[in-house]
Amino acid sequence: MSAQTLAPARRQRGVNLEKWGWLFMRGSGVVLIVLIFGHLFVNLMVGDGIHAVDFGFVAGKYATPFWQWWDVLMLWLALIHGSNGMRTIVNDYVTHEKARKALVWALGLAAALLIILGTLVVFTFDPCAGVLEDGSMWETCQALGK
């Protein structure tokens, strides 16, 4: 009887992107649960609840850096988390190499575009832009000097 000798498994050198993607999905999922439920609690349960959510409510939230960063972090994590999940699905089920690469690139571009646009909306939001004298925000904007 001859004994078969197996060569030891060789480790790849460099960064293991799949491992880091897997870890990101777990960590971002936990953080997203906190961010989303905090967002829902403040918007739907505090004060008058859903009846208080209007333009003025959003303008008031986006007047503070805390809520700007809360929503931007939620946006970034949700988009990266979702696009990474879609990338995993594409890699698992699309067998044609060129189609897979095209879909992964499209996912990355769509996520990047939405992250950029969403971040711009949150940080450049001006509740006084376009407010008319007969509007409900006129006094508030005048008090702010805008």
Mind listing the pLDDT tens digit for each residue in 76-95? 999 999 999 999 999 999 99
pLDDT in tens, 98-133: 999 999 999 999 999 999 999 999 999 887 777 777
pTM of the complete model? 0.78
DSSP summary character for residue 99: H
Task: Give the three-state DSSP class for 88.
Answer: helix
Which pLDDT belongs to residue 82? 96
Which pLDDT belongs to residue 127? 79
Full DSSP string of 10-78: PPPPS--HHHHHHHHHHHHHHHHHHHHHHHHHHHHTSTTGGGG-SHHHHHHHTTSHHHHHHHHHHHHHH
Which pLDDT belongs to residue 129? 76
